[in-house]
């Protein structure tokens, strides 16, 4: 992993100047790059017992994750673009990325192996259609955005391999684990089991209606064949996920936004109540489905839920956010993490007050919970793919996260991060845990 990090740093030094030259010289193309390295550790903590999916209660150190992405975009014709993102990811998370529902490293879900793997993260086509009497606004080139004049009133169609987080549940202060909060339940609404493979990507269609001040987005995409699986399920009449989001934003006095999200996922996920009843009768055939060790091959599992996401700038240096989400909690978690209801809030403060205008401090609190059926499942000694201690003395999982991000150079940022986790994996018999991290991030 050390050699891999050095290799990526060499790439950055040798290509940053030429990449910027390409950006400046050819408006038909967009070239961008990111590298994120995260090192996490936690000291030992109290635990009355441990199970297969428990956060290891002995100290863990040097749990390193690395992701690197090349963002390519090419204009095709008027208002049409093709985007291609090859990505390399490798490393390991604390306790093999288990033991905390709101897991403390938002990059680790992209990593399916400790050895670095090259794969296609995104490959999608996007077409904008201007609506009648639409104005136009200049959009500067950035990650997965070419230099263009976009209609301010438009319908946008996106099709291909995508990340749902690129289009839904956005938030200016709590969304990107590469530059903001690291925790899974802060980068997205925790109870949104957002459809994706184990690396965070899926395939499908997103349609957006965008108007000045508001937007509506709809999607239909694939779900995994297994819980937290890498392979997507192409039996689209039996397995699919639909999401709708309504966004209202404003700029009066200070900019802000509110987003309402609803989702419905259909997959092979069994229900907790059915599995519990079957196990009592001696049939444990569905138990490995929850951990992603096997397919169920029985369709019809439905999970639905809702999310609220709001943000408001308070001043030139401060902004706040609030999120709340809920799902029905009847079926196995299939794609994201084992959270059935979640609420979070936080603040971001820019470093302008201490003459570090490009630095940021983030402080947030999140409380996660699970349904009564989910609790019974875990207390019976069974496991999902993220949590399970063998039994359960239930309590809401409470996480406080604080970070300081410092801009070291034009494209280089260093972040120190601390997370305090009470009742990890909803268990009052374990913890609390103190988790420390340092993050290096390069982007140009």
Taking only the tens place, the pLDDT of each residue in 344-397 is 999 999 999 899 999 999 999 999 999 999 999 999 999 999 999 999 999 999
Report the distance separating Cα 205 and Cα 120, nearest Å: 17
- Positive or negative torsion for Cα 167, 409, 27, 67: negative
Token pair recorded at residue 245: 């989001």
Burial label for 284, CB within 10 Å (0-12, 13-18, 19+), is exposed
Residue 152 pLDDT more than 80? yes
Residue 11 pLDDT more than 70? no
Per-residue pLDDT tens over the stretch 67-106:
999 999 999 999 999 999 999 998 889 999 999 999 999 9
- The CATH number given to whatever domain includes residue 84 is 2.40.160.180
The pLDDT assigned to 23 comes to 45
Per-residue pLDDT tens over the stretch 246-289:
999 999 889 999 999 999 999 999 999 999 999 999 999 999 99
Residue 22 pLDDT more than 70? no
- Positive or negative torsion for Cα 159, 165, 166, 169: positive
In percent, the amount of the chain with pLDDT more than 90 equals 86
Q: Are 33 and 71 in contact (CB under 8 A)?
A: yes
DSSP 3-state of 246: strand
| Eight-class DSSP state of 335 | S
Which among 375, 431, 359 is positioned nearest to 398, based on CA atoms? Answer: 431
The pLDDT-based confidence of 62 (bands split at 50, 70, 90) is confident
The pLDDT-based confidence of 111 (bands split at 50, 70, 90) is low
Q: 366 has which bridge partners?
A: 344, 399
36: left (phi over 0), alpha (psi -120 to 50) or beta: beta
Domain membership of residue 102 as a residue range: 2-443
Residue 21 pLDDT more than 90? no
Kindly report the three-state secondary structure assignment for every residue of 173-202: CCCCCCCCCCCHHHHCCCCCCCCCCCCCCE
Domain count across the chain: 1
């Amino acid at each position: 992993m050390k050699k891999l990090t050095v290799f990526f740093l060499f790439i950055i030094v040798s290509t940053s100047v030429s990449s910027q030259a390409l950006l400046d010289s050819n408006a038909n193309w967009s070239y961008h790059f990111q590298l994120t390295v995260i090192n996490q550790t936690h000291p030992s903590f109290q635990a009355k017992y441990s199970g297969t999916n428990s956060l290891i209660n002995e100290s863990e150190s040097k749990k390193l994750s690395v992701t690197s992405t090349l963002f390519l975009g090419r204009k095709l014709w008027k208002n049409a673009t093709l985007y291609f993102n090859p990505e390399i990811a490798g490393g390991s998370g604390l306790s093999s990325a288990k033991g905390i529902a709101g897991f403390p490293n938002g990059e680790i879900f992209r990593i399916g192996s400790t050895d670095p793997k090259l794969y296609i993260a995104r490959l999608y086509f996007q077409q904008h259609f201007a609506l009648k009497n639409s104005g136009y606004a200049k959009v500067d080139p950035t990650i997965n955005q070419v230099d263009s004049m976009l209609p301010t009133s438009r319908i946008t169609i996106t099709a291909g391999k995508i990340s749902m987080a690129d289009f839904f549940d956005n938030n200016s202060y709590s969304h990107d684990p590469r530059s903001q909060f690291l925790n899974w339940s802060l980068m997205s609404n925790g109870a949104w089991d957002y459809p994706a493979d184990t690396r965070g990507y899926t395939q499908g269609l997103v349609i957006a209606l965008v108007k000045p001040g508001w937007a509506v987005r709809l999607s239909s995409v694939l779900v995994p064949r297994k819980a937290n699986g890498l392979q997507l399920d192409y039996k689209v009449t039996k397995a699919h996920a639909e999401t709708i989001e309504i966004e209202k934003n404003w700029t009066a006095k200070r900019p802000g936004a509110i987003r309402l999200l609803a989702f419905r996922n259909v997959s092979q996920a069994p229900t907790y109540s059915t599995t519990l009843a079957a196990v009592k009768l001696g049939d444990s055939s569905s138990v490995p489905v929850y951990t992603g060790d096997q397919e169920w091959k029985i369709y019809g599992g439905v999970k639905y839920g809702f999310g609220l996401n709001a943000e408001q700038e308070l001043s030139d240096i401060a902004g706040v956010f609030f999120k709340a989400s809920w799902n029905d909690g009847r079926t196995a978690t299939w794609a994201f993490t084992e959270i059935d209801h979640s609420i979070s809030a936080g603040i971001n403060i820019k470093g302008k007050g201490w003459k570090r205008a490009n630095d940021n401090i983030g402080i947030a609190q999140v409380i996660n919970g699970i349904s009564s059926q989910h609790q019974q499942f875990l207390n019976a000694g069974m496991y999902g793919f993220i949590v399970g201690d063998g039994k359960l003395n239930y309590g809401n999982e409470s996480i406080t996260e604080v970070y300081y991000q410092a801009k070291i150079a034009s494209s280089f940022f260093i972040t120190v991060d601390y997370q305090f986790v009470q009742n990890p994996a909803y268990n009052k018999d374990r913890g609390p845990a103190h988790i420390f991290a340092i993050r290096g991030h390069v982007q140009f």
